Amino acid sequence: MKGYSGVFPWKSNPTKNQEAPSGTWKLFGKSNSLSKSAEVQKTLTPTSSVSNTPHHHKRQGSSASEKQFEDLVASSIALIQHDRPSNLPAKCTEEALRHKAEHARMVEAARRKVEREAAARHARIQESLRLEERLARHAKEWTQNILPDWDNMKNAKRTLELWWSGLPPSIRGKVWQLAIENKLKITHVMYQDLVFQAKQKLHEAKLKRKRLKINKACGCKEDNSDDRRSSKEKLQKEEITGEINNEKIDIKETELDSTDERIGCEERLSNRDKFVAKSETPRLGMSRNFSEQNLKSMNSESERKNKSNPNLVEYSDECSMELIQLDIARTFPHLCIFQPGGPYFDVLHELLAAYVCYRPDIGYIQGMSFIAAVLILNMEAPQAFICFANLLDGPVLRAAFTRDGAMMQRLWKAYTALLEYNVPSVANAVAPELYLLEWLYTAFAKAMPLDAACRVWDVFLRDGDTFLFNTALGILHLYQEELKEMDFISAAQFLTKLPEDLDPEALFRSISSVSMTLDGMSFEELVSCCQLEQTLDDDVTVRL
């Protein structure tokens, strides 16, 4: 231990410890040497004395050497709290008392904040436990009493009450299937056939894109060769014309030769023009950065031709396949299960592609992926496809996805009338164009937290498409005070993505407080009574 004798200066020699008196105390026990503080001060601190220490560094009842010893940190429990750092003047009595009172208030406020947070956390836990117990009781009641006798119990008062309070996740998929029904008579075998057709079309689309890339490269070379050939023909024509003018030949032979040459040149030029016109025909190549409108507007004539033969790969199908690939990665990104490489990426892609084959007249529209994803989260893929196809065959969603302008105009007018009646302050501040279309196209699956969206879907599938507009009015009624204080852009952003802490119970209370009748007419009657405003654009749309 001789080599380490200077490392720990407070460890003195045993002989000295035996001879030292025991009159002082150290931090962690009774001291054996009165000279220990002096040794530590000499070893670990620069030499100083009371005489050369500034007067404002001195404290009452302690010297500078003692403060330097106190500043020595041997352990975390040996930290000494000072009222003020040693390099600052000491506090006066009044200032010290004031700071002590402020410190006590801060500690008390922090203590109350911790208690409030703990109480809120405890309340959330208790509420979660009560919710789980309630869902367990409801699930048992659904399983034992309602589902076995669905035809007789689906319209019972108790069933409707349980339905409104939210379906338990364990039986939600089953109840959704029974509520949507299968009016289109789609079978599992039909779904598998549609998936096979979709895979074939995807494969053919990839091959077509490869061929178009090759043809495009070859077309550029052929165009250049055509230009060289035409310039060569022009030179030959000029040479022949010069020879005819310079040489002395018979007039008839000259006329015949010039006529034959003119005919030959015209034939070659006409053939070249035909080839160039053929090469300039618009191709069916698709860029990945095209929007939905650009993709669907290109080559509409080829779409009409291909629809005569359903076995051909339609351009609209290829567009829809491309749109699915562009849009599917943006579906519930926070879940990380529908993105490429996720467990449900292929399932969602196959379902949407199968629907494109099932309804090529509609194809894929942005927003379908959210509806399909909610169904996939609650049931198997074949059942999800059956529900998806039947759900999109409802009056509101069918009008939205088929772009039925007349029906959408009636729905818009009826909703605007109810909005002005229920929430007039919001009706004048926020235009429905900012939020309503996206809410309808995704059935609130994109704008709401997933739990709240599933609660809305429960009653939406029970009451029909009218509940979508009831929910829209309920959201505006719930957040009307917040929306009044927002500007145009802030309100649009807020309604596009509602808060994550949206309380489903508060939302449904707001939905219940909204009236869906106006002047004694229901929403459906308002829709049927709305007058259409025929404009020039509508005439053009109808003719197209």
pLDDT in tens, the chain (544 residues): 445 455 454 544 544 444 444 444 444 444 444 444 444 444 444 444 444 444 444 444 445 544 444 444 444 444 445 567 778 888 888 888 998 899 999 999 999 999 999 999 999 999 999 999 999 999 999 999 999 999 999 999 999 999 999 999 999 999 999 999 999 999 999 999 999 999 988 888 778 878 877 776 766 555 555 555 555 555 555 554 554 444 443 434 444 344 444 444 444 434 434 433 433 333 333 333 333 343 344 334 334 333 333 333 344 555 667 678 788 989 999 999 999 899 999 999 999 999 999 999 998 998 999 999 999 999 999 999 999 999 999 999 999 999 999 999 999 999 999 999 999 989 888 889 889 999 999 999 999 999 999 999 999 999 999 999 999 999 999 999 999 999 889 999 999 999 999 999 999 999 999 999 998 999 999 999 887 775 434 433 333 2
Q: Do residues 53 and 64 make contact, with C-beta atoms less than 8 angstroms apart?
A: yes
Query: Given this model, what pLDDT does residue 196 score?
Result: 95
Query: Given this model, what pLDDT does residue 86 score?
Result: 76
Q: Where are the domains of the chain?
A: 93-124, 181-210+314-393, 398-542
Q: Please give the full DSSP string across 142-169, using - where no structure is assigned.
A: IIIIIGGGHHHHTTSHHHHHHHHT---H
User: What CATH number does the domain located at 181-210+314-393 have?
Assistant: 1.10.8.270
Contacts of 93 (CB under 8 A, 6+ apart): none
Query: Given this model, what pLDDT does residue 202 score?
Result: 83
Q: Please give the full DSSP string across 289-313, using - where no structure is assigned.
A: T--HHHHHHTTHHHHHHHTT-TTS-
**Residue 387, both tokens:** 């529900």
Identical topology for domains 181-210+314-393 and 398-542: no
Helix (H, G, I), strand (E, B) or coil at 521: strand
Count CB neighbours of 241 within 10 A. Answer: 13
Query: Given this model, what pLDDT does residue 275 score?
Result: 34
Query: Given this model, what pLDDT does residue 299 score?
Result: 38
Q: Do residues 320 and 168 make contact, with C-beta atoms less than 8 angstroms apart?
A: no
Helix (H, G, I), strand (E, B) or coil at 16: helix
The CATH number of domain 398-542, selected from 1.10.472.80, 3.40.630.30, 1.10.490.10, 2.60.40.420: 1.10.472.80
For the entire predicted model, the pTM comes to: 0.65
**Residue 431, both tokens:** 């235009």
Contacts of 153 (CB under 8 A, 6+ apart): 145, 146, 159
